[in-house]
Each structure stands twice: as structure tokens, then as C-alpha cells.
Amino acid sequence: MQKITIAIDGFSSTGKSTVAKQLAKALGYVYVDSGAMYRAVTLFAMQNGFIDEKHFDSDKLIANLNTVEILFKFNNKLGFAEVFLNDKNVENEIRTLEVSQFVSQVSEISEVRRMLVKQQQQMGINKGVVMDGRDIGTVVFPEAELKIFMTASAETRAKRRFQELLEKGANVGYDEVLENVTSRDKIDTTREDSPLTKANDAIEIDNSYLSIEEQYKMLLELAEETISNKA
């Protein structure tokens, strides 16, 4: 069976990663969470004192990018690949609100984007990949056979993210999460390098009122149709 490349872009907290994982598993494809890679670089910057609420030394981060190694290692018990930063499992650390507060700023840096885009393109060189992020269909894989652009209201996304953080034991308030969501939207859509935008040939899905199962079935049908048409 012919393999294709599936690019899923969209705003933060639209559930891209969840449905992308399900889709990749159903098709037997490799799943890559590109956003996790930017989160890992952000965590690296935080750990080394390059960024906090008072300052951001982007020059120091750029100078040290050659010491950043990001790997995905499959966890058989969990059923998905976890993120490793310089040989340390950081899957949980990169999902915190603290990292979320700075990830869009780090993602603005052209040197960071070039480094990660190159790695992402290498991961999908043989097709059979489902990758989600902000610029997958526009920059990383502009020739992807299936492009999805996911969106939802800021309030809906904040509620989902807030619930997710609470379940992980985080001490956060809804207003704080909503502010983070809207702030990231602004930075992601207005940055000069590879801003978040819908590819001309992408299928837009507003999942404000869709369940995870409904989204999954919709994307699986689109994927199977695209694969069938390519055969």
C-alpha cells in the first residue's frame, strides 16, 4: 500500500497531538510531535538560565543549540514515543504551563526553526508519517498529500488545557490558562518566521464541539480516502 505524509497544523490546545497519535497508530505510521521539539528547546533554555519571566537571552540559546539533542523513544507500556532531551526523559516536564509560557518566544527564533525543520524533514523522508505542529503543511512538508488545519475557540481550548493540567496535579487557574492560550495565538500568528497559517490546500476542522472520537473518525476517513486515491 502506498504511504503518504499527513500534516496536521493548528492552534495550541486543539488536540492535534491526541488525534495524530490515534491516526498514526491506526495506519501503522510514525507519529512526530513537532511542538514537543520546540518545547524541549524551551526547557533547555529555561534549565540553562537563558529565559525566564524577566529576560530572554536568545543569543546564548542560539550559541548553544549545537549541544541540544532531541530524540523520540517509543514506550511500549504507554503506546507512544516520549521526548528525550540530551538523554533525559522530559515528556512530563515539557508539558507544564511554565514551558508553555515561553515556547512561542523560542519558536520565533529562526535558528531554532531551521534546526528543527531540518530534523523533522529527515524524520519524514520515507513518508508514512503523521506530524503535527504549526508549520508542517506550509514549511516542513508543503507537498504533503493530506493537510489538516485544526481550530477551536480560545475559551474551548483553554478549558481543555485547564482540565488536562488539573489532572496532572498542576496548581493553575483557568484565567491564567486562557491568557496563555491567547498570548500564544498572537505570537504564533504574527511572528516573522513561519507564522501559523492555514495552507491553501489544507482541510480546516473546527473541533470546538467535536469529541476526540468524532475527530479521529473524520481524519481516518480523510486519510484512507487520500491513500486510496494515491494507489
Distance (Å, whole) CA 187 – CA 99 = 15
pLDDT of residue 55: 93
Q: Using CA atoms, how far apart are residues 151 and 15, in angstroms rounded to an integer? A: 9
Taking each helix axis from N to C end, the angle separating 16-27 and 212-230, rounded to the nearest 10 degrees, works out to: 50
What residue spans define the domains of the chain? 5-222
pLDDT at 189: 93
Instruction: Quote the pTM value.
Output: 0.86
Query: What letters, b where the CB count within 10 A reaches 16 and e where it falls short, cover 107-127?
Result: bbbeebbebbbeebeebbeee
3-state DSSP of 73-117 = EEECCCCEEEEEECCEECCCHHHCHHHHHHHHHHHCCHHHHHHHH
Grid cell listed for 48: 540553562
Residue 181 is placed in which grid cell? 492560550
Note the pLDDT of residue 77: 82
| Grid cell 509560557 in the structure block, residue | 101
124 neighbors 133 (Cβ within 8 angstroms) = no
Task: State how far the alpha carbon of 56 is from the alpha carbons of 32, 60, 93, 183, 225, in Å.
Answer: 28, 9, 20, 17, 46
Residues of the chain with pLDDT under 70: none
pLDDT at 221: 97
pLDDT digits (tens, 9 = 90+) for 88-140: 999 999 999 899 999 999 999 999 999 999 999 999 999 999 999 999 999 99
Q: What CA–CA distance (Å, rounded) separates 220 from 55?
A: 44
152 vs 136: CA distance, rounded Å: 19
pLDDT score, position 179: 95
Strand partners, 12: none
CATH tag, 5-222:
3.40.50.300
- Return the residue matching grid coordinates 508539558: 95
Q: How far apart are CA 231 and CA 227, in angstroms?
A: 6
Would you state the pLDDT for residue 96?
92
User: What's residue 121's pLDDT?
Assistant: 95
Determine how many CB atoms are found less than 10 A away from the CB of residue 183: 15
Instruction: Look at residue 2 in the predicted model and tell me its pLDDT.
Output: 87
